Amino acid sequence: MDLKKALPLLDKFFAWATPKRVLMLAFAAMACIISLTFFEHRSSVIEIFKAKDLAPPELSVVLADDTRKKIEELVNRSPDVNTVMIVAANIRVNQREMVYYFSDDPVVDFTIKAYANSHGSAQTIFSHDEKNNAQMVSVINGEFGCYKYEDTSNNVMAPKLAQRTPTICRISLPPYYGEFSGYVSIGLTHVPDEALQNEIRIAATRLATEIYFKSIKRR
């Protein structure tokens, strides 16, 4: 651009650009930047406000005596099962907690009890472990699944138990999608074939249904 033609434009700009207008322009630019930042991260911002507005429900699982007896019978009568664990979960705060377990294997029983006493019984539902996260999504969706012990969160708690409980099967509480409150975890003494998986699925579904309707309380 010709300098002679540019000079009048510069004169007009400097005449227009009073301190007050420059300040207003700076505030407008800052507002645009903040608005764009909020827009790009709108999902996270909304979740933060939701978390503040919605207090997580208190969830308690108190197993009835007859339910405990059924769990013990399931373990004692089946040579394929050595452990049943009941886990309560609160997805809003990403937390799960073992509320009851029974095992007829003294090594498994001792190891679980020792870990709970030293580390507590609570864990996060989702973690940095992709296999764990995929399993949790499956159980939240109401799907029954059996997994290698080494691929489950139990392996973090007690890796040595992989030899005694090589397979972990899970089903949600309740055993369908939409009201996820936790899950039933069943430890097997060997890798199951399809017939045994079906047997465990039926037994787990019955147990999960009974626990959900008889033992879960919300306040």
pLDDT in the model for residue 54:
41
Retrieve residue 145's tokens: 């699944």
Q: Is the pLDDT of residue 90 over 50?
A: yes
The pLDDT score that the predictor gives to residue 64 is 87
Query: Rounded distance, CA 110 to CA 114, Å?
Result: 6
The string of pLDDT tens digits covering residues 21-61 is 656 766 566 656 656 655 554 444 444 444 444 444 455 67
150-202 per-position pLDDT tens digit:
999 999 889 999 999 999 999 999 999 989 999 999 999 999 999 999 999 99
What contacts 24+ positions apart, CB below 8 Å, involve 14-18?
Answer: none
pLDDT at 121: 87
- pLDDT tens, 92-143? 999 999 999 999 999 999 999 999 999 988 999 999 999 999 999 999 999 9
> 92: Cβ–Cβ under 8 A, 6 or more apart, which residues?
51, 54, 56, 57
3-state secondary structure 162-198: HHCCCEEEEEEECCCCCCCCEEEEEEECCCCCHHHHH
pLDDT score recorded for residue 157:
85
Q: What is the pLDDT of residue 181?
A: 92
Write down the pLDDT at residue 33: 63
Of 1-10, 40-49, 66-75, which range is least confident? 40-49
Q: What percentage of the chain has pLDDT greater than the value 90?
A: 63
| Cα separation, 58 vs 216, whole angstroms | 11
**Average pLDDT score over residue span 71-88:** 96
